[in-house]
């Protein structure tokens, strides 16, 4: 997998997307033709929110008869649940949460979501983070060394927390017996500085601003996943893949760090109109400059070829668009023919 570029700070243009972004709503029927689309994103401090705002702006200006807006949510799991309930007509979600939602697993047991993927957007990279000062005492050589320590897994119900729990399970670590705390990134940084936790997880694009802010005051150490750990995880969950965070991505981390990553997907209900799905992709890939204006690290990934990175069934409109644009999709993600 290619490494993302370093994440640029969100430019002022991101703030202009406020007209296309709004607080979470408890309703919103898109109508039979999906003329009104609400896009589920994530917290206002993350990447999903400004990226969703940029998507909404592109769709509203380029897809005829369609108005889109982005809404802040608790991210992946919440977005899939709200797509299932009809509150959202589109959402950004990690591949693990998407797969579990459409297959009725874990949080979606007996409540499978009838949804499909339009495209893959960019990879989220699992950062197991501690401070250099903590690591000097703890000596975390492999991820499994955090077992039994005080660990922040991300807010409950978030994609970050889901990824952490799946990784602990794949490695047969004691997720429930470990002193797991469910803190957001800002609170995890504070807890590391205060010494109330030993490590925490960031499942984000490389160069995330909260990590840059943390290392600006306290040198960080990224805990690597050893060879057998990466193999166990990718064997257990096909939507995870091996990844390397290049040395220098963070100014206080000189060496390459082996880890894992998974893709963020753009998801819609399965009854989303085929022609509109086609038009959304035509608009998206014709205006990627608006996406990179709010997430510069996505430049390598906002290209049609990344559609093939989906690990979940794709929408027929997306399949047709891929065929028309020379993108070969794996058979495993093609919808069944009725």
pLDDT digits (tens, 9 = 90+) for 35-75: 999 999 988 878 899 999 999 999 999 999 999 999 999 88
Backbone angles phi, psi at 319, to 5 degrees: -65, -45
pLDDT digits (tens, 9 = 90+) for 16-34: 443 444 444 433 343 457 9
What does the pLDDT read at residue 45? 77
The tokens describing 8, both together, are: 């640029």
Domains of the chain: 12-123+265-333 (3.40.190.10), 124-262 (3.40.190.10)
What does the pLDDT read at residue 313? 97
What does the pLDDT read at residue 338? 54
Q: What CA–CA distances, in Å, run from 79 to 91, 94, 119, 139?
A: 6, 10, 16, 37
Within 8 A by CB and 6+ apart from 209, the residues are 7, 9, 10
pLDDT over 70 for what percent of the chain? 90
pLDDT digits (tens, 9 = 90+) for 78-103: 999 999 999 999 999 999 999 999 99
Most confident of 9-18, 40-49, 313-322: 313-322
Beta bridge partners of 123: 263
pTM of structure = 0.81
What does the pLDDT read at residue 222? 98
What does the pLDDT read at residue 30? 39
């Amino acid at each position: 997998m290619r490494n993302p570029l370093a994440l640029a700070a969100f430019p002022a243009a991101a703030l202009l997307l406020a007209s296309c972004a709004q607080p979470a709503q408890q309703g919103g029927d898109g109508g039979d033709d999906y003329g009104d689309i609400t896009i589920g994103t994530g917290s206002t401090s993350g990447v999903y929110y400004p990226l969703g705002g940029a998507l909404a702006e592109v769709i509203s200006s380029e897809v005829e008869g369609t108005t889109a807006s982005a809404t802040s949510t608790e991210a992946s799991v919440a977005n899939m649940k709200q797509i299932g309930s009809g509150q959202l007509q589109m959402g950004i979600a990690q591949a693990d949460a998407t797969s579990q939602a459409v297959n009725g697993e874990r949080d979606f047991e007996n409540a499978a979501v009838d949804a499909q993927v339009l495209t893959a957007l960019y990879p989220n990279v699992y950062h197991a983070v501690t401070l250099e000062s903590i690591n000097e005492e703890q000596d975390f050589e492999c991820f499994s060394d955090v077992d039994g320590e005080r660990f922040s897994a991300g807010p409950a119900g978030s994609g970050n927390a889901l990824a952490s729990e799946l990784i602990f399970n794949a490695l047969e670590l004691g997720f429930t017996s470990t002193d797991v705390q469910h803190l957001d990134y800002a609170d995890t940084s504070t807890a590391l500085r205060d010494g109330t936790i030993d490590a925490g997880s960031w499942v984000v694009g490389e160069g995330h601003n909260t990590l840059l802010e943390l290392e600006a005051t306290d040198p960080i150490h990224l805990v690597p996943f050893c060879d057998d750990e990466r193999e166990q995880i990718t064997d257990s969950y096909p939507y995870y893949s091996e990844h390397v965070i290049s040395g220098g991505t963070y100014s206080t981390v000189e060496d390459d760090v082996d880890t894992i990553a998974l893709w963020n997907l753009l998801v819609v209900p399965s009854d989303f109109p085929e022609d509109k799905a086609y038009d959304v992709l035509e608009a998206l890939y014709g205006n990627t400059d608006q996406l990179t204006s709010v997430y510069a690290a996505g430049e390598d990934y906002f290209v049609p070829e990344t559609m093939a990175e989906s690990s979940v069934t794709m929408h027929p409109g997306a399949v047709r668009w891929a065929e028309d644009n020379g993108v070969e999709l794996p058979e495993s993600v093609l919808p069944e023919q009725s």
